[in-house]
Amino acid sequence: MKNIGIWMDKEKAHIVRLTGEQEGFETIMSDLEFYRPSGGSGTKSAKWGPQDVIQDSKFLEREKHQLKTYFDHLANAIKDADAIALFGPGDTNEKFKKELTNNYKPLATKLKTVIKSDSMTENQVKALVRDYFKKGK
Protein backbone atom coordinates (compact mmCIF):
# COMPACT_ATOMS: atom_id res chain seq x y z
CA MET A 1 0.00 0.00 0.00
CA LYS A 2 1.49 3.31 -1.09
CA ASN A 3 0.35 6.23 1.05
CA ILE A 4 1.34 9.69 -0.12
CA GLY A 5 1.19 12.89 1.91
CA ILE A 6 1.78 16.26 0.29
CA TRP A 7 2.56 19.47 2.13
CA MET A 8 2.15 22.22 -0.42
CA ASP A 9 1.99 25.95 -0.91
CA LYS A 10 2.38 28.13 -4.00
CA GLU A 11 6.16 27.89 -3.89
CA LYS A 12 6.79 24.15 -3.49
CA ALA A 13 5.31 20.78 -2.66
CA HIS A 14 6.96 18.25 -0.33
CA ILE A 15 5.86 14.73 -1.24
CA VAL A 16 6.26 11.98 1.36
CA ARG A 17 5.79 8.40 0.10
CA LEU A 18 5.15 5.65 2.63
CA THR A 19 5.41 2.09 1.34
CA GLY A 20 5.40 -0.42 4.17
CA GLU A 21 8.41 0.53 6.29
CA GLN A 22 10.09 2.53 3.53
CA GLU A 23 9.83 6.29 3.28
CA GLY A 24 10.63 8.54 0.34
CA PHE A 25 10.81 12.31 0.17
CA GLU A 26 10.69 14.57 -2.87
CA THR A 27 10.27 18.31 -3.41
CA ILE A 28 8.66 19.78 -6.50
CA MET A 29 9.09 23.51 -7.09
CA SER A 30 6.17 25.40 -8.61
CA ASP A 31 8.11 27.92 -10.74
CA LEU A 32 5.33 30.44 -10.12
CA GLU A 33 6.17 34.08 -10.71
CA PHE A 34 5.22 36.15 -7.71
CA TYR A 35 3.59 39.40 -8.73
CA ARG A 36 5.09 42.50 -7.18
CA PRO A 37 4.22 45.67 -9.06
CA SER A 38 6.92 48.26 -9.19
CA GLY A 39 7.64 51.37 -11.14
CA GLY A 40 6.11 54.76 -11.10
CA SER A 41 6.04 57.95 -12.99
CA GLY A 42 9.73 58.46 -12.33
CA THR A 43 9.26 62.03 -11.16
CA LYS A 44 9.56 63.14 -7.61
CA SER A 45 7.12 65.93 -8.28
CA ALA A 46 4.18 63.60 -9.05
CA LYS A 47 1.48 64.92 -6.77
CA TRP A 48 -0.36 61.64 -6.09
CA GLY A 49 2.47 59.12 -6.48
CA PRO A 50 3.02 56.62 -9.28
CA GLN A 51 0.46 56.78 -12.05
CA ASP A 52 1.29 53.54 -13.87
CA VAL A 53 -1.52 51.36 -15.13
CA ILE A 54 -1.08 47.83 -13.78
CA GLN A 55 -2.73 44.97 -15.64
CA ASP A 56 -3.85 42.70 -12.77
CA SER A 57 -5.88 40.46 -15.06
CA LYS A 58 -2.79 39.64 -17.13
CA PHE A 59 -0.85 38.56 -14.04
CA LEU A 60 -3.78 36.58 -12.62
CA GLU A 61 -4.24 34.74 -15.91
CA ARG A 62 -0.52 33.92 -16.03
CA GLU A 63 -0.67 32.65 -12.43
CA LYS A 64 -3.65 30.44 -13.31
CA HIS A 65 -1.71 28.81 -16.17
CA GLN A 66 1.39 28.37 -14.00
CA LEU A 67 -0.70 26.74 -11.24
CA LYS A 68 -2.20 24.35 -13.82
CA THR A 69 1.32 23.31 -14.92
CA TYR A 70 2.38 22.90 -11.25
CA PHE A 71 -0.67 20.74 -10.51
CA ASP A 72 -0.05 18.61 -13.63
CA HIS A 73 3.51 17.89 -12.41
CA LEU A 74 2.18 16.97 -8.96
CA ALA A 75 -0.54 14.70 -10.34
CA ASN A 76 2.00 12.86 -12.50
CA ALA A 77 4.31 12.47 -9.50
CA ILE A 78 1.59 10.80 -7.37
CA LYS A 79 -0.30 8.77 -9.99
CA ASP A 80 0.72 5.48 -8.33
CA ALA A 81 -0.76 6.38 -4.91
CA ASP A 82 -3.25 4.21 -3.01
CA ALA A 83 -4.16 6.98 -0.52
CA ILE A 84 -3.45 10.72 -0.63
CA ALA A 85 -3.49 13.34 2.13
CA LEU A 86 -2.97 17.06 1.44
CA PHE A 87 -1.54 19.49 3.98
CA GLY A 88 -0.51 23.12 3.83
CA PRO A 89 -1.27 26.77 4.53
CA GLY A 90 -3.44 28.95 2.36
CA ASP A 91 -5.79 27.59 -0.25
CA THR A 92 -3.36 25.99 -2.70
CA ASN A 93 -4.22 22.52 -1.40
CA GLU A 94 -7.94 23.23 -1.93
CA LYS A 95 -7.21 24.36 -5.50
CA PHE A 96 -5.24 21.15 -6.06
CA LYS A 97 -8.15 19.11 -4.70
CA LYS A 98 -10.44 20.88 -7.17
CA GLU A 99 -7.99 20.18 -10.01
CA LEU A 100 -7.91 16.48 -9.06
CA THR A 101 -11.70 16.34 -8.92
CA ASN A 102 -12.12 17.99 -12.32
CA ASN A 103 -9.25 16.49 -14.33
CA TYR A 104 -7.82 13.49 -12.46
CA LYS A 105 -10.86 11.56 -11.23
CA PRO A 106 -9.00 8.29 -10.43
CA LEU A 107 -6.64 10.24 -8.13
CA ALA A 108 -9.50 12.26 -6.62
CA THR A 109 -11.13 9.04 -5.37
CA LYS A 110 -7.93 8.25 -3.44
CA LEU A 111 -7.86 11.64 -1.70
CA LYS A 112 -8.55 11.10 2.00
CA THR A 113 -8.24 14.57 3.51
CA VAL A 114 -7.22 18.20 3.09
CA ILE A 115 -5.82 19.69 6.30
CA LYS A 116 -4.59 23.22 7.02
CA SER A 117 -1.12 23.32 8.55
CA ASP A 118 1.57 25.94 9.02
CA SER A 119 4.99 26.03 7.39
CA MET A 120 7.14 23.10 8.43
CA THR A 121 10.63 21.71 8.06
CA GLU A 122 11.19 18.56 6.02
CA ASN A 123 11.37 16.39 9.15
CA GLN A 124 8.14 17.88 10.51
CA VAL A 125 6.39 17.15 7.19
CA LYS A 126 7.59 13.53 7.30
CA ALA A 127 6.39 13.15 10.89
CA LEU A 128 3.00 14.72 10.07
CA VAL A 129 2.40 12.32 7.18
CA ARG A 130 3.61 9.28 9.18
CA ASP A 131 1.34 10.18 12.10
CA TYR A 132 -1.67 10.77 9.84
CA PHE A 133 -1.41 7.39 8.11
CA LYS A 134 -0.45 5.58 11.34
CA LYS A 135 -3.78 6.63 12.86
CA GLY A 136 -5.44 4.89 9.92
CA LYS A 137 -7.75 7.70 8.86
pLDDT 10s digits, 39-86: 555 555 656 665 666 667 888 888 889 999 999 999 999 999 999 999
- pLDDT at residue 32, as a whole number: 81
Confidence class for position 25, pLDDT limits 50, 70, 90: very high
Q: Give me the domains of the chain, ranges plus CATH numbers.
A: 2-33+54-134 (3.30.420.60)
> CA–CA separation, 27 vs 10, rounded Å?
13
Residue predicted with more confidence, 132 or 52: 132
> CA–CA separation, 122 vs 128, rounded Å?
10
**Model pTM?**
0.80
Among the listed ranges 8-12, 29-33, 51-55, 57-61, which one has the minimum average pLDDT value? Answer: 51-55
